[in-house]
Amino acid sequence: MTVNGWFQISLLLAGTLLVTKPLGLYMFKVFSGERTWLSPVVQPVERGVYRICGVDEEKEQSWLQYAMALLVFGFVGLITCYMLQRAQSGLPLNPADLPAVSPGLAFDTAASFTTNTDWQYYGGESTMSYFTQMTALAVHNFFSAAVGIGVALAMIRGVARRRTDVVGNFWVDVTRSILYILLPMSFVFAIFLVWQGVPQTLGGYTSATGIEGVAQTIARGPVASQEAIKQLGTNGGGFFNANSAHPFENPTPITGYFEALAILALPAALTYTFGKWVGDTRQGWALFAAAGGILLAGITICYWAEMRDNPALGGLHINQALGNMEGKEIRNGVSLSAFWLVACTATSNGSVNAMADSFNAIGGMIPLANIHLGEVVFGGIGTGLAGLLLFAFLTVFVAGLMVGRTPEFMGKKIHAFDVKMVALAILIFPAAVLLFTGAGVVLDWGTATINNSGPHGFSEILYLFTSQTGNNGSAFAGIGGLTGFYESAGGFAILIGRYGTIIPALAIAGSLARKQPAPPSLGTFPTTTALWVVLLAAVILIVGLLTFFPALALGPVVEHFMGNAGRTF
């Protein structure tokens, strides 16, 4: 590890800390109904949307009504996204005359973008037309991110309110998320990216002759607009196959910094929104500290692992000064590549700027472990905060067992129903991952298209279903995924991972909102201290990593030791 590498990482961490309070405070004002500097421009548009859609912004919903609205919205979005892909060949803005997307791939992609997963079995420039990229994919980048924010808001209201059956209005939350936060931030960010050289055009692909005299077709398109919401909304779906390693998506060191910062900005800021909303910003900073500590540990381990020699070089130390540069851009180096991969898997972004499959065994294990934690470090936009709160409820339950007291969080008792919902939300993810991975390992459908053998091949299948069920979108690659098995299984894994966690979380929000908080006493466990931060981080690590430890031992751990012994895969 180098001083320059740590300097780059420190700048990114400092930037995340710097934007957390102002962004978090702004979001609190937006969703609590306070007037903001954008209100004179946006409020008339917001009210117009409500009139057109028949939404009463003053009427709130119970958790079940909120969940039903969310599911209907997601189902309509999935069907629309699927149909647009299937009709692509007959729709406008298709300069490359790309054919309709196949049924299996269209289903997997529709499920992926509807749920903020953005897993891609395809190369965007060779599969999706401009029209599909803009209307089927980029639009869902806004919708899915707004839905995630809505889930977080319902959870926050559940904790903050007392003796009520309502947790907000889904349609209002989604509308405000888009109009006040995602659209204006993406608009400014897209202009910044265009200034830095990211294409934004509806013109066709262009032809050029390289220095070797070979003619080539250079894909381009409305890239900057999709890139902006891809990063800010923790979506991660690349316009191009190479994603953020492509120079048209990430052309300069400045775009590299701000795109990496954008991955963490809104998920981190929501922790402050939570603290502000419940009337104690220390609560938000405690969540920030627990997630930030795990993030820093992951970056450190991944950076250290990637500065080691690649075992595939057979003991040659030609890369010792630069570290393991296989699969990485020279302009990014090991430090920014490690930070980006850890950040995009700690959230649900997936917009890799290096080939995760080429990382050393331990370096590649860290992003895999990040998703295994439930992507709560800081997690996806909105859903990450909801996941953090689920682990907070689990932590006070464990603490209550230790001292023989009924667990409570911020004065609200955590009863049997709440614990059951927490367990369901936390356990459905590993259950789906391990079942789908097991099927991929033992069935001929799953093993027929694996390009690597041994523990690395196992890691590729494990990462695939972990990323999809965890709604991340990054990949180890090495698997030919355009098969009926992986397209169908992947699509269902994506939907289970999204809604199997969201629905129990909303049920807990409804349960907590009905409760009357008890005043603090000498026996109250404080949730703003360093002890709480350490205990919360420990529960996240123990529950997440112990659940998947046998799988990790069969994959990256054994590959690490076999690599040190000279065996590579």
Encode pLDDT of 393-404 as tens digits.
999 998 888 777
Judge if 482 and 558 occupy the same domain: yes
Give the C-alpha separation, 93 to 313, whole Å: 46
Q: Which pLDDT value is given to residue 329? A: 83
Sorting pLDDT into bands at 50, 70 and 90, what band is 61?
A: very high
> How many CB atoms sit inside 10 A of residue 324's CB?
24
Q: Which pLDDT value is given to residue 482? A: 62
Judge if 290 and 235 occupy the same domain: no
Query: What is the rounded (10 degree) CA torsion for 505, 510, 513, 519?
Result: -60
Judge if 117 and 175 occupy the same domain: yes
Sorting pLDDT into bands at 50, 70 and 90, what band is 481?
A: low
User: Of 202, 233, 252, which residue sits at a domain end?
Assistant: 252
| Tokens at 129, concatenated | 């037309």
In the predicted model, what is the mean pLDDT of residues 501-521?
A: 90
Position 12 pLDDT exceeds 70? yes
In the predicted model, what is the mean pLDDT of residues 41-64?
A: 93
Whether 246 maps to a domain, the answer reads: yes
Element (H, E) at 216: strand 215-218
User: Of 252, 270, 297, which residue sits at a domain end?
Assistant: 252
Whether 12 maps to a domain, the answer reads: no
Whether 215 maps to a domain, the answer reads: yes
Position 564 pLDDT exceeds 90? no
Q: Which pLDDT value is given to residue 490? A: 84
Q: Which structural domain, as residue segments, surrounds residue 436?
A: 283-564
- Identify the top-confidence range among 185-199, 323-337, 338-352: 185-199
Judge if 245 and 305 occupy the same domain: no
Cβ-contact 263, 145 below 8 angstroms: no
Whether 201 maps to a domain, the answer reads: yes
Whether 6 maps to a domain, the answer reads: no
Beta bridge partners of residue 413, listed in sequence order: 408
Whether 513 maps to a domain, the answer reads: yes
Q: Which pLDDT value is given to residue 421? A: 93
Judge if 231 and 173 occupy the same domain: yes
Q: Which pLDDT value is given to residue 527? A: 87
Q: Which pLDDT value is given to residue 488? A: 83
Judge if 324 and 389 occupy the same domain: yes
378 preceded by cis ω (within 30°)?
Answer: yes
Give the C-alpha separation, 342 to 334, whole Å: 12
Total domains in the chain come to 2
Judge if 239 and 304 occupy the same domain: no
Judge if 190 and 291 occupy the same domain: no
Position 328 pLDDT exceeds 90? no
Judge if 314 and 219 occupy the same domain: no
Whether 321 maps to a domain, the answer reads: yes
Position 311 pLDDT exceeds 70? no
Judge if 309 and 409 occupy the same domain: yes
Distances (CA, A) of 233 to 172, 379, 472, 505, 534: 18, 11, 12, 20, 29
**277-283, Cβ contacts within 8 angstroms, sequence gap of 24 or more:** 277/28, 277/32, 277/156, 277/157, 277/160, 278/156, 278/159, 278/160, 278/410, 279/160, 280/410, 280/528, 282/528, 283/410, 283/527, 283/528
User: Of 229, 252, 275, which residue sits at a domain end?
Assistant: 252
Position 217 pLDDT exceeds 90? no
Average pLDDT, the chain: 89
Whether 22 maps to a domain, the answer reads: no
Cβ-contact 302, 313 below 8 angstroms: no
Q: Which pLDDT value is given to residue 444? A: 80
Judge if 340 and 459 occupy the same domain: yes
Our measurement of the distance from residue 554's CA atom to the centroid of its chain's CA atoms, rounded to an integer in Å, reads 25
In the predicted model, what is the mean pLDDT of residues 96-101?
A: 91
Judge if 299 and 358 occupy the same domain: yes
